[in-house]
Amino acid sequence: MKIAIAIVDAFTNKAFGGNPAAVCLLDTSISKEQMQKIAMEMNLSETAFVERTDEPDIFNLRWFTPLLEIDLCGHATLASAFQMLYSRWVIPDQTIRFNTKSGELRVKSSEEWLEMDFPLIPTYKEEHPYFKDDFFGKKIVGVSQLRKNWIIELEDYQAVESVKPDLNIISENSEEGIIITAEGKDPYDIYSRFFGPNVGVNEDPVTGFAHCALMDYWYQKTGKFTLRAFQASKRGGILNLEKHDDRVIIRGQAVQVLLGEFSL
């Protein structure tokens, strides 16, 4: 059996920026075990698998890290929608509806951007049991908890850019990982980074799900309904966020960098 696979850089408009995701558009169903093996072989933060349904605009979407299946992934959803447009599985301006473990997600193209409709992830102010005053030498000014992860706000964007965390300590003191954030510098409202060693991703280049929580965190703090966000990893990534009640619109761009096939 031949399985087509692509690598798409998400949240960027140039190759080798943003966050790479592998995308398999499946014409034939494969097992969860096969999906996990492909994700391990690709060894990217996420590999996405898309299957058609009986409805022309509804698709099943699953995401796997090299270690496990996850409930929500923004950049691999963006990459999947881009590859579906590129491969003519869907047409421009068509709203793509994905069945996922996080419910229905919708993506549509809007000029040169892709626009994702995601759930807002609630965040709650809480003291971290380990990181109380500083995060590896950088002053902490706020902490909130979300499902399986933490948000730690640092003093400024320079602290976010320059901090060098001990991933073993993060692994021991989080269920999945830790999002760090701070007010950004022009033209960005916020900066962030995400460390997820417990899901097989030491530092994720650009993290869509994290921004579903960051939108809630910064809305609580500033009252802003829109944010221009920069994830300050080595690759870097740009996300435009807009809060609508309990949903977040995430706008991003993508580019294909590799196309090939697996032999199963």
Query: With 80 as the cut, is the pLDDT of residue 111 above it?
Result: no
Average pLDDT on 49-70 reads 95
Question: What's the pLDDT band for 162 if we cut at 50, 70, 90?
Answer: very high
Average pLDDT on 238-249 reads 96
Could you list the active site residues?
A: 46
**One-letter identity of residue 35:** M
Question: What's the pLDDT band for 147 if we cut at 50, 70, 90?
Answer: confident
| 4 CB neighbour count, 10 Å cutoff | 15
Neighbouring residues of 226: CB distance < 8 A, sequence distance ≥ 6? 240, 241, 242, 243
Q: What percent of the chain has pLDDT over 70?
A: 100
Helix (H) or strand (E) holding 37: helix 32-42
With tokens 């169903």, the residue in question is 29
Is this structure's pTM higher than 0.85? yes
Within a 13 Å sphere around the CA of 143, how many CA atoms are in the beta-carbon half? 15
Domains of the chain: residue spans and CATH? 2-119+251-263 (3.10.310.10), 124-244 (3.10.310.10)
Q: What is the pLDDT of residue 68?
A: 92
Question: What's the pLDDT band for 112 if we cut at 50, 70, 90?
Answer: confident
Question: Mean of the per-residue pLDDT values for the chain?
Answer: 95
